[in-house]
Structure 1
Amino acid sequence: MAAYIPDDKILSIKNASDIVDIISESVALRRTGRNFVGLCPFHAEKTPSFTVSPDKQIFYCFGCGAGGNIFSFVMKHEGLSFPEAARSLARRYGIDLPTRNLSPHEKKKLTEREMILTLNKEAMAFYQDCLIRKPAGRHGMAYLLKRGMNKSTIEDYKLGFAPEGWDHLLRYIRSRKKPLDLALKAGLIIPRKSGSGFYDRFRNRITFPIFDGQNQLLGFGGRVMDDALPKYLNSPDTPVYNKSHSLYGLHCARQQCRKTRTVYVVEGYFDLLAMHQFGMQNTVATLGTALTASHVQMLKGYVGSQGKAILVYDSDQAGVKAAQRSVTVFQKGLLEARILVLPKGHDPDSFLMAHGPEKFLLAAEKAMHMMTFMVETAVEKYGLGIDGKVRIVNDLKSALLAIDDPVARSLQVKYLAERIDVKESAILQKVRQPIQNRTRLPDDHRQKRGTNATPVRGETYRLEQKMVTMMLQFPEMVEVIAQRQLMDNFTDPLLADVGRGIIENLGKAGGDVASLLSQWDEPERKAAVARLCLADEHWDRSGCMNLINQFENSTRRRDNVLLKRIQAAEKNGDQDLLAELLKQKQHQALERMGKKGGH
């Protein structure tokens, strides 16, 4: 993949970018010594195990094993291929990347995402122009002003208007000579059910552009200005947009989320705009879907391990149900969350317009912890009769199971027992069997990932791993290792390959670990190198030479053991064993010759 972009351009991107700056946009990092740590964006954790090295420009998570350089992070975090990640970083730092050497098929594949993002920007400009300058947009502007939106909010959040009719945007796209199949993939137009042709997806609606945390325009939401249905309409999933991984307003909220360590989560576009307009810019909105684990991981990256989310829901039954559904997701995502249910008849938009931000913040201070909210909602729904208590426990069982921390679970069980006057032991018995089953899942999961399946390594492997770690962390010894041709004596193919890569790469001008990682495509290999590079080791030249001597002695002992076994087999007349041992020796000799020939 890297061959599609010239090496000098890859080097320019690497030199221009800073991995701490890139990762800190989505992960709350704090400095510990020479490195930075934070909560891993790729798995749920309470204690930070995600490490970023500014010196080596690499990252590694000691919890889940993800690791690599800046390209690896962007690829994994954004779901991009290497060329897409490189181009994304190049755009950020103003580095021009040529595409003239690509075949038409390769160029189309690599640039489709960029073309969709560009087309989305053109559609946004069209909708904005319709709202602000076209007579057809006067109705939309009047509606926004009536809803309390000021002109600054309308401009800052790039609101627009999709005019009534079937093909206004379609004709605009044609006039710009953009391919209609691209507009279809972007979700801007829809194929007609009968006959050929297309029509606009958004018609007679206010449009809300949806950006990601890097200010890339992914899609749109649209709202009618009357009682027509559906009231809200979002872009479908596209090559750049997925509602389960996207949040409205994130691009404007992320800095304030980091600063306050708090994020408000609302459900509607106008709810978010009102929150931002009244000064609570640490607010995001879901996009017509329930909160997902991906959303929680994303938010946790911005507010940090000590941060919290406050879910602000409408007072109607749908809002209460949405709050209940989110409890398990937050508990599994290990992020503290509270529930703020507004007075009846209000959503965040109407409450702020009626009462102002001061009363809202006072209400937010009284937001309930998630389990408290769940318990009180269940009590209100079922009552405290015998049947009601049984239903309450049944309703809360899954929420209790989702609490990973056994101390926290115990405290919540105790609170529930006291609130509904039921023995703790009875509630624990109700949930004990599922908990026991669940405690076995991590081992099973690790086996599926291959963690427990990894064979037990011997002393030879540990020495080889130590050697590679030394080469990464004390590169002054690389030349010595190369001169002694120690890689020829490695028994582990992966470590031998990594060692040769270090010798070849770190010897070049400007060679470093981040460049070394760029020469491999396999994420597992990148992660392994990052892990060894960030291992807590302390090296000096004397210690390095001791390790090298230990490795050479180990190699000689291994050869001597094989030779003695051959001699013993000859002496005992064991022809079968002798043939096998000679075969091993021959294979060993050929392998070393092959390794030398490959240099």
Structure 2
Amino acid sequence: MVNFIPENIISSIQTAANIVDIVSEVVMMKKAGKDFQGLCPFHSEKTPSFTVSPSKQIFYCFGCGAGGNVFHFLMKYQGISFPEAAAKLAQRYGIQISDQAMSYEQKQRMYEREQLIRINKEAGQFFYNELTQNKVHTEASSYLNHRGINQEIIDKFLIGFAPQGWDNLLRYLSNKGFSPAIIHKAGLIIPRTNSTGYYDRFRNRIIFPIINIQGQITGFGGRVLDNSLPKYLNSPETPVFNKSRTLYGINTARQKSRETGIVYMTEGYFDVISLYSHGIENTVATLGTSLTDEHVRLLKGMVRQVILVFDSDQAGVRAAARSIEIFCKQNMDIKVLILPEGHDPDSFIREFNSDKFKKKSENAKHAMSFLTDEAVKKHGMSVEARLRIIEDMKNPLTSINDPVARSLYIRELAERLGVDEAMLLQRIGHSNFAPPFAPPPLPQVPERKIFYSKQTRMEKKLISMMLQFQEILPEIKKRNLLNYFEDPLLKSLGLIILSKFKGRAGEKISDIINFIEDKEMQSIAASLAMETEEWNLEGCLSLLIQFESGQKRRTDNLLNQIETAQRENNQSLLFELLRQKQEQARERQSTT
């Protein structure tokens, strides 16, 4: 895969792209010695095991085994190919990369994504101009003004207006050179049912561009000016817009969220905009869809706590309850802010002020306390009601992955309901989860042979040395040490290192990982490169001598066993020992 792109271009991209900067956009990390650590974005964990090395320009998760360089991080996080990751980074850092590096399908996919982003940008400009420059749309301006949205906020969120009419946007984008087919692919127009052609999806609506964390418009939301239905209309799913992985306001909330470690999650566009305009900048909203694991992972990389600020009606309570379970499964600290009846975040902060909102935030309820209160409010406290409360709390409690937290919440519920804790545990169904105070389950890491036998542990150490002290590579090659490796994966990795590294000081570990396509081998290379042993020439030579001595002892031992088998006329054992000797010789010859 990497061979399609010139090595000098790849090296230029890696030199320009600091992996810490790229990863920090989606993972909240803290300095830990020479490295940075954070919660892994690829699996659920409570204790950080995800490590990024700025000096080596690689990442590795000691929990799930994911590892690689900056290209592999983007590939895994965004689900894209190597050429696509290289193209993204090259564009970001102003490096030219030939499209000859991609297959026809990859070129088409990249071209289509670029076209869709360009179309969305042009459409966003069209809507913005219609609102801010076309004086005919006074109704739209009056509506926003009535809701307390000034020009500064309009500019910040690029709010626009889709005028009445069937093909205003279609004609505008066609004049810009875009075909109806690609405009339709962007979700901005809809095919006519009774005739040929298309018509605009958004008409006579306030338009909210949906902007991703990189600042690109990926979709749009539109709200009517009256009470007609549907009140809100979103872009459909496209190659660049996925509601399950998108949060409105993530681009404006990112910086403040990282600074405070807290983000407010709401349900609507106006909630985000109103809170932002009153100084509560760390606010996002779902896009008319239920919360997903992807939403949580997006926030998990930025904050330590989420405060749900949903409407106080029953629909809002149900939405909060669903969201709590998903957050709990991801081991996130979750609170719920209850607003006075009849208020949503937008109306509350406009009627009162940011100080009162912040004060109420300080008293936000922890998720389980909120759910218990709601269940009590719903059922009462009769004997039958308490049984129903326990039933309501069953799923939320079993969704908590942290066994200590789960045990404490069960104890709190037992005290609140006046029931025996052991009976409550039995009623909920303790078989569904680990017993209280049991150690948290470790992530499932694929078993690898290299971590067990004495021989392969030594081979692992040699590969780690080869990655981190390239000056020793000529000596490795001269002594043919890889010929003696037992682990085929480690031997293959060693051969790649020897073929790609020249053994000069200053060669980068992150470069070698580009030449490894096998995912398990990538993970092993990143893991071994992360080891912190300080290497020097004396220590390296000492390890080589130790390895060679071990091989000599093994060979001598095998020869002694063969002689013994011959003396004792043990034909079956002799046959097996000779087979082993022949196999060793064949393996050494195959790599010579």
TM-score where L is the length of structure 1: 0.92
The one-letter amino acid of 2:359's match is L
Alignment-mate amino acid for residue 207 of structure 1: I
Q: Which amino acid aligns with 2:83?
A: P
- By how many angstroms is 1:583 displaced? 4.2
Quote the residue 2:202 is aligned against.
Answer: 202
Any idea what SS the aligned residue of 2:239 has?
Answer: coil
Instruction: Tell me: CA distance 1:162–1:6, structure 2 relative to 1, closer, same or farther (3 Å).
Output: farther
Shift of the 129–588 alpha-carbon distance from structure 1 to 2, 3 Å rule, reads same
Match of 2:140 in 1: 140
190 and 580 in structure 1: CA distance in 2 versus 1, 3 angstrom threshold: farther
TM-score, structure 2 normalization: 0.93
Map 1:221-240 to 2 at 5 A: 221-240=221-240
CA distances 1:57-85 after superposition (whole Å, capped 9, x unpaired): 01111111111101111111222211121
**How do 1:323-334 and structure 2 match up within 5 A?**
323-334=320-331
Q: What do the CA deviations read for 1:462-497 (whole angstroms, capped 9, x no partner)?
A: 111111112223333223212212112112121112
Q: Deviations over 1:322-370 (max 9, x none)?
A: 1111111111111111101211111111111111111111111111111
Q: Which moved more, 1:403-412 or 1:46-55?
A: 403-412
1:523 paired residue among 519, 528, 538 = 519
Q: State the alpha-carbon separation in 2 of the partners of residues 272 and 260 from structure 1.
A: 17
Query: Does 1:486 pair with 2:481?
Result: yes
> How far is the alpha carbon of 1:396 from its aligned partner?
0.2
Q: Alpha carbons of 1:2 and 1:197: their partners in 2 closer, same or farther (altered >3 Å)?
A: farther
Is contact 2:83-2:102 (8 Å) kept?
Answer: no
> What is the root-mean-square deviation in Å for CA atoms of aligned residues?
2.5
1:34-183 pair list within 5 angstroms: 34-99=34-99, 105-135=105-135, 137-183=137-183
Distance in 1 between residues matched to 2:106 and 2:410, nearest whole Å: 57
State the partner residue of 2:3.
Answer: 3
* Aligned equivalent of 2:276: 276
In 1, the alpha carbon distance for the partners of 2:13 and 2:451 equals 40
Q: For residues 500-527 of structure 1, what are the alpha-carbon distances to aligned partners after superposition, in whole Å with 9 as ceiling and x for unaligned?
A: 2222333266631111111122333222
Unaligned stretches of 5+ residues in structure 1 = none
Q: 1:522 to 1:186 in 2, by over 3 A?
A: farther
- The answer on whether the counterparts of 1:132 and 1:138 sit within 8 Å (CA) in structure 2 is no
Deviations 1:373-410 (A, max 9, x none): 00100000000011110000000011111222222222
Asked if the contact 2:53–2:59 (Cα under 8 Å) also holds between the matched residues in 1, the reply is: yes
Distance in 2, Cα, partners of 1:169 & 1:29: 43
**Residue in 2 aligned with 1:351?**
348
Residues 90-111 of structure 1, C-alpha deviation per residue, up to 9 Å, x if partnerless? 1211112222576655421332
| Alignment partner of 1:499 is 2:497 | no
Equivalent residues of 1:505, 1:512 under 8 A apart: no
- Please list the CA deviations of residues 7-30 of structure 1 after superposition, one character each: whole Å capped at 9, or x if unmatched: 222111111111111111221211
CA shift, 1:177, in A, is: 2.3
The aligned counterpart of 1:246 is 246
Structure 1 contact 136–163 (Cα < 8 Å) conserved: no
Provide closer, same or farther for how the CA distance between residues 437 and 405 of structure 1 changes in structure 2, counting only shifts above 3 A.
Answer: closer
The one-letter amino acid paired with 1:82 is F
What code does the residue aligned with 1:418 have? Answer: E
Contact 2:218-2:241 within 8 A present in 1 as well = yes
Q: Secondary structure at the match of 2:113?
A: helix
Q: Contact 1:312 / 1:339 at 8 angstroms: preserved in 2?
A: yes
- Structure 1 pair 3/187, CA: closer, same or farther in 2 (3 Å)? farther
1:463: which partner in 2?
458
Deviations 1:523-558 (A, max 9, x none): 332221111111243444443333212211222233
Q: Given the superposition, is the C-alpha separation of residues 101 and 378 from structure 1 closer, same or farther in structure 2, using an over 3 Å criterion?
A: closer
- 1:537 is aligned to 2:533: yes
Residues 1:290 and 1:101: Cα distance change in structure 2 (over 3 Å): closer
Alignment of 1:439-478 (within 5 A): 446=444, 450-451=446-447, 457-478=452-473
Distance 1:338 1:105 in 2: 45
Distance 1:63 1:28 in 2: 17
Mapped pair 1:376 → 2:373: yes
Contact kept, 8 Å, 1:263 with 1:310, in 2: the verdict is yes
Distance 1:222 1:276, change over 3 A: same
Distance in 1, matches of 2:563 and 2:187, equals 75
Change (3 A) 1:488 1:171: same
Give the superposition deviation at 1:569. Answer: 4.4
**Alpha-carbon contact 1:83-1:110 (below 8 Å) kept:** no
Runs of at least 5 residues in structure 2 that lack an aligned partner in the other structure: none
Counterpart of 1:592 in structure 2 is: 588
Q: Provide the residue aligned with 2:391 in structure 1.
A: 394
- Cα pair distance change 1:46/1:550, threshold 3 Å: same
Q: Which of 325, 334, 339 is equivalent to 1:337? A: 334
Q: Any idea what SS the aligned residue of 1:341 has? A: coil
CA distance in 2, matches of 1:470, 1:100: 36
Q: Confirm or deny: 8 A CA contact 2:403 2:434 kept in the other structure.
A: no
- Paired AA for residue 459 in structure 2: E
Shift of 1:268: 0.2
CA contact (8 A) 2:450 2:456 kept: no
- Residue identity in the other structure for 1:119: I
Alpha-carbon deviation of 1:187? 1.9
Paired residue type of 1:115: Q
Partners of 2:307 and 2:134 in 1: CA distance: 39
Which letter does structure 2 place at the counterpart of 1:435? N
Name the SS of the counterpart of 2:337 in structure 1. Answer: strand
Summarize deviations over 1:188-221 as a string: whole Å, max 9, x none. Answer: 2233344543332222221111122121222111
Aligned to 2:316: 319
Q: 1:28 to 1:445 in 2, by over 3 A?
A: closer
Aligned length: 590
Structure 1 residues 399 and 23: alpha-carbon distance in aligned structure 2, compared to 1, 3 A threshold: same
